[in-house]
Amino acid sequence: MKTTIDRAGRIVIPKKIRQAAGLAPGMPLEIRCANGRVEIEPAPVPVRLVRKGRLLIAVPKVKLPPMPADLVERTLEELRNERGL
């Protein structure tokens, strides 16, 4: 997909790419230049570890919007494929 940069240096990330990457309005992003390429990814979310029974669960320190159901399904499918399940 192609897009352009406006005079203020802003770009619009096409909707299909935003959806595939799980990007939402107001989400903090990390941007860097590496090997002549501009890379954009969601910034890490600060978490705290909470014990639930024998497990440690990562709980975000900030309120996050719910993940869209299609993103949850895609993520589960990718993990199953990755693990051969």
Domain ranges of the chain: 15-82
Beta bridge partners of 37: 34
Provide the pLDDT for residue 25.
Answer: 85
Tell me the C-alpha distance between 67 and 69, whole Å.
6
54 SS3 class: coil
Tell me the C-alpha distance between 27 and 15, whole Å.
15
Across the range 59-77, mean pLDDT stands at: 85
Mean pLDDT of the chain: 90
Whether 65 has a pLDDT exceeding 80, the answer reads: no
Residues 18 and 1: beta-carbon distance below 8 Å = no
Higher pLDDT, 83 or 20: 83
